């Protein structure tokens, strides 16, 4: 059965924030700071949060695919092709969103 994503994450209601300390390699911090300076990110903190949200989304998608494989077995070639096209479309939509966001941040 597909998993349901609730509005509570780690004991916090979705939308609330928790401040934490994060250690980054200097090169990674420098890249993140450039993203902010060049208007592609609101802040280093926001960039890290966005990255974690993408990882969370990917983990949720992988869980759904795993659940589907358990229910219906391995995907046939047509289903694999359709899934690949859907993921490619999602990636393209995300890239377009990011391109639009960068234009508004500058």
Cα separation values, 12 from 7, 17, 22, 67, 104, Å? 8, 8, 19, 26, 30
Q: Is residue 68 very low, low, confident or very high in pLDDT (cuts 50, 70, 90)?
A: confident
Does residue 29 form part of some domain?
yes
pLDDT digits over 53-64, tens only? Answer: 888 887 887 888
Does residue 48 form part of some domain?
yes
d(CA 106, CA 40): 8
- Per the DSSP assignment, residues forming a β-bridge with 12 are 9
Does residue 1 form part of some domain?
no
Half-sphere exposure of residue 24, counting CA atoms within 13 Å on the CB side?
15
Above 70 in pLDDT, residue 1? no
Does residue 65 form part of some domain?
yes
Does residue 94 form part of some domain?
yes
Does residue 3 form part of some domain?
no
Does residue 98 form part of some domain?
yes
Q: What's the burial of 89, exposed, middle or buried (CB within 10 Å: 0-12/13-18/19+)?
A: exposed
Q: How many structural domains comprise the chain?
A: 1
- Residue 94 tokens read as 């995300």
pLDDT digits over 6-55, tens only? Answer: 444 454 455 678 899 999 999 999 999 999 999 989 999 999 998 888 88
Domain residues for 53? 8-105
Does residue 2 form part of some domain?
no
Instruction: Give the single-character DSSP code of 39.
Output: T
């Amino acid at each position: 059965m597909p998993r349901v994503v609730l509005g509570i994450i780690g004991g916090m209601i979705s939308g609330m924030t928790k401040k934490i300390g994060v250690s980054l390699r200097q090169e990674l911090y420098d890249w993140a700071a450039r993203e902010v300076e060049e208007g592609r990110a609101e802040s280093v903190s926001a960039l890290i949060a966005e990255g974690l949200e993408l990882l969370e989304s990917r983990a949720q998608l992988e869980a759904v695919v795993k659940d589907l494989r358990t229910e219906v077995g391995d995907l046939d070639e047509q289903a694999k092709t359709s899934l690949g096209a859907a993921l490619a479309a999602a990636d393209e939509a995300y890239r377009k969103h990011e391109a639009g966001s960068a234009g508004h941040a500058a």
